[in-house]
Chains A and B, each alone.
Chain A
Amino acid sequence: MTSPRPTVVVTGLGATTPLGGTAEETWQAALAGRSGAGPLDASWVEDYELPVSFAAHLATPVTEVLKKVETKRLDPFAQYALVAAREAWADAGSPEVDPERLASAVGTGIGGVQTLLSAWESLRTKGARRVYPLSIPMLMPNSAAGTVSLEFGARAGAHTLVSACSSGAESIAYGLHLIREGLVDVVIAGGSEASIHPLPIAGFTQMQALSTRNDSPETASRPYDVDRDGFLLGEGGAILVLESEEHAKARGANIICTLAGAGVSADSYHIAAPEPEGAGASRAMADAVTDAGATAADVCHINAHATSTPVGDVAEVAAIRRAFGAEADHMAISGTKSMTGHLLGAAGALEAVFAAQAVRDRTAPPTINIENLDPAVDLDIVRDAPRDLPSGDLLVLDNSFGFGGHNVALAFGSY
């Protein structure tokens, strides 16, 4: 039976992350189980008495790949989106698309926080006339979506979904719907974040969200370990080129996988804490599988949200169990934030890239740093080394949850 709505496929991947300057470098580093953690600027730690002295910075500084004028006129979060989008676009074969059938959808958690804070500094120390005239377009959270639209001539719309740590995944879900609705042929979709700065760090530490394992940054992010104590803050950008199957086939594109479905829900429970029973998260996962026209038995691998926080990790485990029951036993669960850190608004997009690569290469990436598995985790966690996925048609989920009670699950399938 043919589906009445367009099938959506992934034709390009791009990323700049703490593990590598490209999507492929990032994937290979993840398969090798590397950590992207490193020291924070020591003067910050000292000047602001930060309780955390490490983060996961980009592996390849953007100054190595962007023109000076681009780094001057764009906030880092828009720079990361641009770098990742250029890679993804080239990976998709730089498609010829009617500009009015091409959209961008680039989410972010915070937006141009570095520009905002440096403009505030200019104002306080030098007065209004010394505030950089591009400050507003640089700091606005839609500047990444706008920049990407400008770069590729996307005139069907430039969309910014802001849902904290699920922004990247929700942007991809939005792109899926745009294509299914027949409104566009191609969407450049993903997320970006650049908030390694004393203020966001101070804010997160005041929430006790960050790991303070200062003596061992590379082992700080340890999803599912009994001694996990918070997340590792990362930065970066990740972009997928989503395309209708018809459009991709007509131009002879290399199709990486399908974006088979998406599920979105809200907890309506607490502004920052996950609902412990995982009702909302499980609904998002179940909906993504149903939307893909599949069942729990078809899911072989989940790239979990798994940030390494004491509450969040087990809430997600409960949600997976609740959504899939005994079928969850045959799903290989990976917590790639153990390596990349938590990229906030870019996390869901980076993990979507990982999910697409997992389908393509039939491999689930590892979860590193689990010394003692939390007894509350009764799922099959892929530990220490990558694992082969079965033969036949694969269905892989990417979970992302965010402050505000957002839950997003994406389902990627073999093509």
Chain B
Amino acid sequence: MAHTEQDILAGLAEIVSEETGVDTSEVTADKTFTDDLDVDSLSMMTIAVTAEEKFGAKIPDEEVKNLKTVGDAVNYIKANQAA
């Protein structure tokens, strides 16, 4: 059962909120993790691993640094989720 973009965005928002304390409503596709959401590299690792678990999509460490915006992460997860 593939997750839709909305599903993934909502799920990511929850993960980011849990990790950083920002409100879920702040976590929109256009936001950058580093500048807009104050996510440091350690938090980014946590978010990636938690998202892997939640959506069944492998996000290799070398890919994590390419995910600049929340939208990037949504698209990556959507394209790589377990069929």
B interface, size bucket: under 10
Contact in complex: A68, B21 (CB < 8 Å): yes
A273 within 8 A of B: no
For the complex, give the distance between the alpha carbons of A77 and B19 in Å.
Answer: 19
In the complex, A69 has a CB within 8 A of chain B = yes
Tell whether, in the assembled complex, residue A69 and residue B46 are in contact, meaning their CB atoms are under 8 Å apart.
no
CB interface residues, A 107-132, toward B, < 8 Å: 129-130, 132
Bound form: Cα–Cα A165–B45 in Å: 36
SS class, residues of chain B in contact with chain A: helix
Q: Are B21 and A67 in contact (CB under 8 A)?
A: yes
Q: Which residues of the partner chain B approach A132 to less than 8 Å between Cβ atoms?
A: 46
Question: Does A134 interact with chain B (Cβ within 8 Å)?
Answer: yes
Please determine whether B18 and A133 come into contact, CB atoms closer than 8 angstroms: no
- Nearest CB of chain A from residue B64's CB, rounded to whole Å: 11
Which B residues are in CB contact (< 8 Å) with A67? 21
Q: Which of A69, A129, A130 contacts B20 (CB 8 A)?
A: A69
Q: Which bracket fits the contact residues of A?
A: 10 to 19
Q: How far is the CB of A120 from chain B (nearest CB, A)?
A: 17
List, in ascending order, chain A residues with CB within 8 A of B18's CB: 68-69, 72
The reply to whether B49 and A130 contact each other, CB–CB distance below 8 Å, is yes
Q: How far is the CB of A200 from chain B (nearest CB, A)?
A: 27
Q: How far is the CB of B80 from chain A (nearest CB, A)?
A: 16
Q: Is the CB of B21 within 8 A of A69?
A: yes
Q: Decide yes or no: A72 and B49 within 8 Å by CB, A133-B42, A134-B42 being known contacts.
A: no
Residues of the A chain whose Cβ atoms lie less than 8 Å from the Cβ of B21: 67-70
Chain A residues near B43 (CB-CB < 8 A): 133
Contacts of A134 in B (CB 8 A): 42, 46
Query: Which chain B residues lie closer than 8 Å to A72 at the CB level?
Result: 18-19
The complex places the Cα of A67 from the Cα of B18 at a distance, in Å, of 10
Chain A residues with Cβ under 8 A from B49's Cβ? 129-130, 133
Minimal beta-carbon separation of A119 from chain B (angstroms): 13
Determine the distance from Cα of A69 to Cα of B19 in the docked complex, in whole angstroms: 6
Instruction: Mark interface residues in B45-79 (1 if CB within 8 Å of A CB, else 0).
Output: 11001000000000000000000000000000000
> Which parts of B1-40 form the interface with A (CB within 8 Å)?
18-21
Write the nearest CB–CB distance from B65 to chain A, whole angstroms: 14
In the bound complex, CA of A339 to CA of B14 (Å): 42
Task: Give bound CA distance, A72 to B47, whole Å.
Answer: 13
**CB closest chain-B residue, reference A126:** B53
CA distance A179 to B45 in the complex (A): 41
Give bound CA distance, A166 to B49, whole Å.
40
With both beta carbons as reference points, the residue of chain A lying nearest to B41 in the complex is identified as A133
What distance in Å separates the Cβ of B46 from its nearest Cβ neighbour in chain A?
A: 5
How far does the alpha carbon of A134 sit from the alpha carbon of B47 in the complex, in Å? Answer: 12
Contact string, A28-72, partner B, CB cutoff 8 A, digits 1/0?
A: 000000000000000000000000000000000000000111101
Nearest Cβ on chain A to B26's Cβ, whole angstroms: 13
Q: How far is the CB of A302 from chain B (nearest CB, A)?
A: 44
- In the complex, what distance in Å separates the CA atom of A274 from the CA atom of B18? 46
Q: Using an 8 Å CB-CB cutoff, how does the interface string of A134-152 with B read, 1 for contact, 0 for none?
A: 1000000000000000000
* New contact pairs (5) apart from A129-B49, A133-B43, CB-CB < 8 Å: A67-B21, A70-B21, A72-B19, A133-B49, A134-B46
**What are 20 sample pairs from A and B whose C-beta atoms fall under 8 A apart?**
A67-B21, A68-B18, A68-B21, A69-B18, A69-B19, A69-B20, A69-B21, A70-B21, A72-B18, A72-B19, A129-B49, A130-B49, A132-B46, A133-B42, A133-B43, A133-B45, A133-B46, A133-B49, A134-B42, A134-B46
What residues make up the interface of A, taking CB atoms closer than 8 Å to B? 67-70, 72, 129-130, 132-134
4 interchain residue pairs of minimum CB distance: A69-B21, A133-B45, A133-B42, A133-B46
On B, residues with C-beta under 8 Å from A are: 18-21, 42-43, 45-46, 49
